[in-house]
Chains A and B, each alone.
Chain A
Amino acid sequence: MNCTKCKTKAVIGLPRHNAAFCKNCFNGFVHDQVARAIKSEWMFGKEDRILVAVSGGKDSLALWDILLKLGYRADALYVNLGIGAYSEQSHAKVTKFAEAVAASHGAMLHLHTVEQEAGAGIKELAQLIHRPTCSTCGTIKRYQFNRVAIEQQYDVMATGHNLDDEAARLLGNVLHWQEEYLDKQSPSLPASVEGFAKKVKPLYRLSERELAAYAVLNRIDYIVEECPMAKGSKMLQYKEVLNRLETESPGTKQTFYWGFLDKQSKKQPTATTMAEKDRAVLHPCTSCSQPTTAEVCSYCKMMARAGTAKS
């Protein structure tokens, strides 16, 4: 198989684009897809300060690498969840990338350790408050990324969600007719109220396989092991189904998710925009001031329950 652009030996075939690329042309393709995502969704400009949420996995480290190579001002935040050897390994991968690659671009790494603040790792914390580990993890990560973005005055927060993540999430929302979540599936969510950072997903045009290939080709040392808490998750099941469809019919995932985005953009504007809806229901948490629909936000409630359970 030869590269569609330069005719040298290809390293990856991309059936959904009816193309194959050598390393150099593939890197060009990946950078171009991210640049198109940033521009078409008005994510950020060259002067903006970006906070990348990194986990040590392929997507978030590839995102940090791509943004730095495209010349953006991107720092990162790693949240150490305290999941034993898995967290130790992922922390080491992030630190290695920050020192070996990001530092030469003048970028820095922020760190938050769950155990230091909560007195327990994520698994123990979830048990203390009788909640599923993944839901506890989601609440902590969303809270901490938003907190650091606001406190450190970043213009925007970027996550490594890719085409597979978004297509699987859309499938889950449609299967359960969770229409209220569909508005939040845009790759660019504005800072709708004071205290919320703008959130963007610059990798939504790239598949999980393409991002893993980018990491391998560019010698980005990421954690290959799956999070031990994610085993058997619904997201993994949806991704498996979508990948079987994709193999039989290349382009299925992008048609599904990009088609959804296209339909959303053509929808008649409703009487109230998402920002207006947010402003109507959100107000500062009485404990920490982050926006919430309740008197006390779910993060502060969680920390209070964990504190009570331990004492």
Chain B
Amino acid sequence: MITLSMRPCGDFRTTYKADTRIFDTRLIQAVAIASVIGLCFAPLVLDAYYLTLFIQISYLAIAALGLNILVGFTGQISLGHGAFFGFGAFASAWFTNSFAIPVWISIPMAGWFTMAVGMLFGLPAARIKGLYLAIATLAAQFIIEDFFARAEWFSGGAYGAAAEPVILFGYAFDSDESFFYIALFALVFMYLWGANLMRSRDGRAFVAVRDHYLSAEIMGINLTWYRLLSFGVSSFYAGIGGALYGHYLGFVSAEGFTLMMSVQFLAMIIIGGLGSVQGALMGTIFIVLLPEVLEAIVGLITHSGLVSAGNVVENLSYFKEMAIGLVIILFLIFEPDGLAHRWKQIKAYWKYYPFAY
């Protein structure tokens, strides 16, 4: 939200429209559009493994942005985001399996449905804050997880639920190459949605509630409604992300949506930058790619024969978990404002070089 002006010299805005753009300069806008177009050709070049990683980043980043709207922008806390993510996955599968709704409609429907459920579980937020709210949302996490296990009509219980692939105009998006485009479209759409939300009325209201709720109320902002709505919007994003996840894998099982997943979403937005739309994406990329990079490093060490290979390979998963923990701690110490903030500072460094300010 902070608009530190980093415009090139002489780049004056003559209309208010030009002054409220999402991308600060034409160059950044052009780069963003070019990268999206460039990504459209990725399935022709990259192999399935990288496409899988991208798809994974997409649906997680959508959910992470939702959590960032709740935690970063509205200043509330949720430990139940993983459960809402799962709820979206099951809801979309349920809509298609039980009511024969086409998948491309059931995904947004799952979003709205999860939003309603999120607002229900967000009701305590009207009254409580901080640690107490964290515990209340923890309850939501366990209640929903339990619901997945027991409500066989909805989730298939212990067997899980099958999720059909997306079918548009008779074409089934069931391969990595084809689903890539669905993921890319959803990612771009949901991030534009988020960026626009944050520059319009309700987005400002969220930040106002976070920064000073007493004066926000005097400004005509209904605190109860906006605290609830923030839960709603956050769950909406989780639901969309979850639905994409379900229809990508083709199968949803109840085990994945644990507290660990909720914490991982929190890690993404803390590392990416609380209260930043692009930060949510950066944090997700970081968390998804970190194990991959570590695996590559461990692989290198193994092949170099520096250490006894057997031990390292056996303990690979422990190394990864420990490294993720370590990285989060280091981030909290050295860059509490996240990757988005660091990125801004790097830009400022190049812009003002050789001067410090």
> Are both chains from one complex?
no
Measured CB to CB, the residues of B under 8 A from A are none
Measured CB to CB, the residues of A under 8 A from B are none
